[in-house]
Structure 1
Amino acid sequence: MRMRQRLVVLHRYVGLVMAGFLIIAGLTGALLVWYNELDALINPQWLQVEPPTAHSEPRSPFALRDRVDAAYPDANVHWMMLAPPDAHSPLRFFLSPKADAPALHIDEVFVNPYTGQILGGRLWGDLSQGLANLMPFVYRLHHSLALGTVGTWIFGIVALLWTLDCFVGAWLTFPPPRRRDARHRPRRFWTRWAKAWQIRWRAGGHKRTFDLHRAGGLWLWALLLVFAWSGVALTLYDPIYRPTTGLFLSFQEDPLANVPTRANPSPQPPIGWEPGYHAARQHLEALTQDRDLTIHALERFAYTPHKNALKLMARTSSDVNERFGETWVYVDATDGALLGHYLPTGEAAGNTVTTWLTSLHIAAVGGVGYRIVTTIFGLAVIVLSV
């Protein structure tokens, strides 16, 4: 069997293996582009708040964290927002269960930032709680088929196959070489290949279906490759993506990689939440001055007990993600000493490329226009798969 025939068979059967998964990924991805808007539409009682007056200021996020902490005695609040994304949004807090406590029925809590009222909560992604969890469940389907680690590996392998199949599929669109008229072969090649970009709309039946798949794949090839390889980054980062990309590009080291894991971690940061935040903010300001960066927003703050570390997450001029910041500063949760930092771009080429890939994947760049393109692309993936 000739090489071309072998690749046709490979492309066919790899495509059949991937098709069902890509249909799920395309449909859920088209919805996730509008995650916040759809979630707010489904859950207005939690996700839409009105400031009492035009000039109302949100309360201290740390006072609100303490209120949530007191309201859920079986849980710890180890992740918090520092400010609502806009004047009509709540603050979110995520809970983690205390040792020997029963399983949580709520782990995401919504709080009115002006009144301090706890608006409600949900066990993120648990569809048994009803439509309130629809969009988180769609996210779980998109990332892991809602199967946890096993599903993440499945989707990661599919994304890896998809990446390789992009090159096989592109090669198969090239017209087979002809021996005669070698002098005009380059011109004839482009003339013949041009047919692969066209769709015979009037042909009907198999020919039109074939053209939709071949021409659709060619016109979308660059995006298909971006989404396939970024899918590997989002699912198999440590085992596949970073080692492979690291052969060509450098990466920042994990700031907590050399921090020892604590056998009996403190349930709350010993330094305290607010003092820890101020220490992290000072280190962030020093970092941005040193790198000549601008701080646009201080967004989230989290505690990692087993590493005894606090993490301040901000949006700076190093960020390209328009949805949330990915500039991070880590400090010791006992004395506020700097443990390290992470910059999404400008620090290491591998991280810069990865940031752009993943931001394109989740439609967090390019504004509404690119989000519409990504929605259409998700539907196109379904068409190519079918």
Structure 2
Amino acid sequence: MSARGIVRRVHLWLGLSVGALFVLTGLTGSLLVFYPAIDGALHPGLARVAADARPASWQAVYDALRRAEPGRDGAWRIEVTPDGGPIPVRYYAARETRARAFAPLMLWLEPVRLTVVRRGFWGGYATTWLYDLHYRLLLEKPGALVMGIAGIVMLAMLVSGLWAWWPRPGGWRRSLAWKREAARSRRLYDWHKWAGIGSALVLVVVAATGVLLDLPDQVHPLVARASPLFATPRLRSVPNGPPLPLDTLVDRAERALPGGALAWIETPADAHGVVRVNLALPGEPSRRFPRSNVWLDPYTGRVLAVRDARRDGGGDMLLDWLHPLHDGEAFGLAGRWLAFVSGLVPAVLFVTGLWRWRVRAKARARAR
């Protein structure tokens, strides 16, 4: 058998073995591209909050959280949405889900009255369950390893498909032809071929970034060998009277990194903790999860450490781009729609490939 024939056989069996998983990750990934909007649509209580409403102060938001959940003394992570509306908040140290790798308590506050309009645990409602299915097959950390390995196999499937199709010199016109009046097997091949050609670059990028996101324990040490990675500073404060209002600390953080858009505020985990303010600086690929941070002493307001993601080394820059490339956020709304459509393509590839294989198998059986 020729090399091309071997590659075709490999592509076939990879498609039959992991094709269904490729479809699952693609379809769930398409939905997750717009999961905050979908999540909001599924919960009418959020829709009743004015879309542009904003809180009077961030300290008032924190005080409301402490009143609503008086037994939770750990750090709260408050998301600052660009357009206002319900305020999403995370509490990572929830005792109810302590046994799980990642299952924070999720709250949404009405920004004017500062009342809790929604409450739940990550993984306990539809969009986060879908996220865990896409990312870890609902299997916690072992599931991420499985998905990372499966992603490598999917990359091999994509590359083998391109290799099997790649025209010989002088054969481009014939290889790109679409035969409308051909037999069913050929028409299925054309659908499969053009779906693969048209989406190959995007699918390779999405699959490759997915592998790197699923295998941080394996990827980060390798990246660090080539370029040292930023290490989150271990900081502690010394209680010295009452803490300053969060708004004062946010203002000092914004002065430390001018031009940044406020994205997250993380309150201290205990009396010796610090406040972390997350800012999206111009040029960062992700607005929702930027990498620039300012750490402050909650009692004195002193800036303890600063990370300007624009000054990150090559390794950190690579890691910073993974998620925004994976879900298309790096290229705005157009990039998100491109990621959404690309997630539908594996279903087209799987159905046309499987259908054609069945048609050809039946034809061979009849011939025998």
Does the CA-based 8 Å contact 1:111-1:120 persist in structure 2?
yes
For 1:331 and 1:161, the matched residues in 2 are separated by: 45
TM-score of the aligned structures, taking structure 1 as reference length? 0.76
Q: In the alignment, which residue of structure 2 is the partner of 1:18?
A: 18
**5+ unaligned residues in a row in structure 2: which ranges?**
352-368
Does the CA-based 8 Å contact 1:277-1:301 persist in structure 2?
no
2:216 is the alignment partner of 1:252: no
Q: In the alignment, which residue of structure 1 is the partner of 2:171?
A: 192
Q: In the alignment, which residue of structure 1 is the partner of 2:335?
A: 370
Does the CA-based 8 Å contact 2:275-2:297 persist in structure 1?
yes
The correspondence for 2:263, drawn from 281, 292, 299, is 299
For 1:304 and 1:195, the matched residues in 2 are separated by: 65
Change (3 A) 1:106 1:171: closer
For 2:148 and 2:162, the matched residues in 1 are separated by: 21
* Cα drift, residue 250 of structure 1: 2.9
Pairwise CA RMSD: 3.4
For 1:369 and 1:11, the matched residues in 2 are separated by: 31
Q: In the alignment, which residue of structure 1 is the partner of 2:290?
A: 325
For 1:356 and 1:200, the matched residues in 2 are separated by: 40
Does the CA-based 8 Å contact 2:135-2:144 persist in structure 1?
yes
* Cα drift, residue 136 of structure 1: 1.8
Change (3 A) 1:273 1:374: farther
Change (3 A) 1:202 1:238: farther
For 1:50 and 1:324, the matched residues in 2 are separated by: 24
For 1:280 and 1:61, the matched residues in 2 are separated by: 9
Change (3 A) 1:212 1:332: farther
The correspondence for 1:63, drawn from 53, 57, 60, is 60
2:137 is the alignment partner of 1:151: no
For 2:243 and 2:20, the matched residues in 1 are separated by: 46
> 1:219 aligns to what SS in structure 2?
helix
2:188 is the alignment partner of 1:212: no
* Cα drift, residue 102 of structure 1: 4.9
Q: Mean alpha-carbon deviation: is it higher for 104-113 or for 209-218?
A: 104-113
For 1:170 and 1:246, the matched residues in 2 are separated by: 32
Aligned pair count?
A: 344
Q: In the alignment, which residue of structure 1 is the partner of 2:313?
A: 348
* Cα drift, residue 45 of structure 1: 0.4
Q: In the alignment, which residue of structure 1 is the partner of 2:132?
A: 140
Change (3 A) 1:359 1:110: same
Identity %: 23
Q: In the alignment, which residue of structure 1 is the partner of 2:87?
A: 91
> 1:320 aligns to what SS in structure 2?
coil
**5+ unaligned residues in a row in structure 1: which ranges?**
127-132, 177-188
Q: In the alignment, which residue of structure 1 is the partner of 2:215?
A: 236
Does the CA-based 8 Å contact 1:61-1:82 persist in structure 2?
no
**Residue deviations 1:183-240, cap 9 Å, x none?**
xxxxxx1x31343334434324222222322332222221111101110122112313
Change (3 A) 1:81 1:103: closer
Does the CA-based 8 Å contact 2:122-2:128 persist in structure 1?
yes
Q: In the alignment, which residue of structure 1 is the partner of 2:202?
A: 223
